Structures are given as structure tokens and as C-alpha cells.
Amino acid sequence: MIDPVIFSFKLFSIPIILRWYGVLVMLGAVVGALIAEREIKRRGENGESIWDALIWVLPAGIIGARLWYVVNNILGGSRYYIDNPINIINIPEGGLHFFGGLLFGAIALYFFLKQNGMDIWLFLDAIAPAIFIGQALARPANFVNQELYGQPTKLPWGIPIDAQHRLPQFADLSEATRFHPTFAYEMILNILLALLLIWISRQYKDKMKPGAIFSLWLVFAGVARTFIEFFRPDQPRIGDSFVSYTMLVSVLMAVVGVVMLLVRYGKLQLAAAEGWEEEYHIKPVEKKTRTRALTPATLDEMNEEVTSKKSANAVLTSAGSKSVTKKAAPTKKIAVKPKTTKSKTTKQKTTTSKTTKPKTTKK
């Protein structure tokens, strides 16, 4: 079997351990975010905002997934976390529940979108297929940890499970016993359902309304997980029934999804759904000015720009002064005002001389 630890070392007496579990979970988150980014852009919104949302959603999702797993374990009758509460935060040992991550992640996403003025239904519809893909890519981690397997089987794709990782009811079985790879069933289902959601959103693009794809996701995810629960002997049951707590939540998810679809397309009227938007609300794009970091290289570039501008201004001013002097010369040559004044004065003298003649008339 595969070693769960990829490598480990100590840094200043602090153990640094890289596990397949963490790597595959992060791979699923990143690939899911890439798919969500494309789906958000296709709906007219800024796809890069999903990376900002991931800063909120990912930590909240991990905390929620761990807490749900612990509560589910306690409901099953185990006292492991009651007697060892410090192990609740020991996430690397394994134990994350999808529904807890979904619940806490959705709450964090809601507050992020509300704070940034973005449409919650647009993001839920865009993220729906990405959730399936992200979950599917993280499922091989269960194979590495030898967990989330099913009952014994003689099918050719059955997998071996070491004795130390077997459930108590299977501890006495022979080493050659094979078990259902339940995690693989869920992985395949998730990939197929993600492709189906993407196909529906494109094939019936004109008929899709806000929230429709997310409603379909609730139905698909609920039905798929209900089926998977029949191959999960590790899940705690409600009393003596065959129904697990996770199966109950899965059925409720599917029912809620069906009701939302009926309301969305007018087949069912609910007062709480009045005013449900008919189109996505796209946030106006805000243009941001980019600023450069003040590094020595950028300072040199800025100095060069300043000197080049000064030299350019000097050239312009010198050229301007020359043009002014050239234009000023003709104005002096054209000016004829002094001549006109002389002529006027001479005329005045002549007129005065003419006017004085009558005074000197002959007696």
C-alpha cells in the first residue's frame, strides 16, 4: 500500500510532514476553483473573485468538515474524541466530513458575497459542478489512508485493507478478503454528475434561471450520497435501522432541491420564495489603478523618466523661444505708424499755413 506520508523533516525541532491527504484535498480545492472561475466568467461576473472567496471558504470548510466528522463519530457511540478531545484538532490523522465542509463553507461564502455586493445565486450555480470535481479529486486520499471502504466483496475491483485499518466487524476475516472501494464509486459518480450539470447549463442556457443549477446539484448530490451510504458500514446508524445520519441528511438535500426547482419554474408557490430574481445581478466593474513597488530598479526607472521629461521640456522651450523671435521680427517691419504720424503732422502744418494766409491779406 501507499505510505500516507510523502516526506517529513524537522525544522528547528518542529516536525514538518507532508501527507497525501492534505495534498489531494488542496488539489481538489484548486481545480474546483479553476472550474468555478470559468463558470462565473461565463455568467458575466468577475471570475477572479473566487480566489478571494476561497480565503474565506477553505478554512471555514475544513473546520466544519472536522467538527461534523467528530459529532458524527460521537453519535455512532464512539468515545474516542470525548476521552481525547485534543485529537479533535489533529486533522492530519484523517476524518473530514463533506457535509460539514459544505455547511460552514456556504456560510462563509454568503458573508463574503454580501460584503462585496455579489449575487449569491450566480456563485452557487457556478460552483455546483466545481464541488463535484473537487470532491472527486480528493477521494483517492481515502484509498491512501485505507478508509471509506465498503463491505467484503468478490468483485474483481475489490481492494485489500490491512488488518490495522479494518472495522471491528471485519477484523476476523482472512487477509485475502477484498472490500468495495466505496470512495471510488463516489469519485466516479461525482465526475459524471459534474459533467451532466455543465452539459445541462449549456444545452438549456435560455431556460436556466438563477438557482436552477444549484437546485439540481442538491438533487444529484443527495441521491448519489444516499446510494453511497449503502456501501458505508462505518457510518453510525439511527437506532437499529439501516438509515445513517448522513443518509438522512442526503435525502433531505434531494427533497429541498426538488422543491426549489418546482418553485423556481412556477410549479409550486411559496411565500418565502416571492421576489426570487429572474436574472443574475452583475456587480459593476471597478477600475483599479496599479501601483508599482518602490524597489531600487523602479526608482532608477522613475529617475530616468524624470530626466527624459526635463530634457524634452528643455528642447520644447528652446524651440518655442526661437519661434517667438522669428515671429516678432516681421511685426517691427510691418509697423507703419510712425510714418503716418509724420504725414499727419505735415498736413496739419500745411493746413495751418493755409489758414493763416487770410490774416495777411493786402490792405
Helix and strand counts by DSSP (H, E) for the chain: 11, 5
Q: What are phi and psi of 358, to 5 degrees?
A: -60, -25
Establish if 32 belongs to a structural domain: yes
Please report whether residue 77 resides in a domain: yes
- Average pLDDT of 117-123? 94
How does pLDDT run across 275-316, given as a tens digit for each residue? 888 899 888 766 555 555 556 665 666 666 656 666 656 555
Q: Is residue 110 part of a domain?
A: yes
- Does the residue 140 lie in any domain? yes
pLDDT of residue 319: 53
User: The cell 481545480 sits on which residue?
Assistant: 31
Confidence of residue 78 (pLDDT cuts 50, 70, 90): confident
Question: Strand ranges (DSSP E) for 166-289?
Answer: 178-179
Angle of helix 49-75 versus helix 245-264 axis, rounded to 10: 140
CA angle 178–184–190, rounded 5-degree value: 160
The count of domains in the chain is: 1
Query: Looking at residue 274, what is its pLDDT?
Result: 84
Asked if the structure places residue 95 within a domain, the reply is: yes
Instruction: Report how far residue 197's alpha carbon sits from residue 215's, in angstroms, rounded to the nearest whole number.
Output: 11
Cβ count near 19 (within 10 Å): 21
Residue 353 counted as domain residue: no
Residue 142 lies in a domain: yes
Q: Can you give the residue range of the structural domain that contains 207?
A: 20-167+174-273
- pLDDT computed for residue 75 by the predictor: 84
Residue 177 or 343, more confident: 177
Question: How would residue 132 be classed by pLDDT, with cut points 50, 70 and 90?
Answer: very high
In a domain, 358, yes or no: no
**Contact present, 125 and 201 (Cβ < 8 Å):** yes
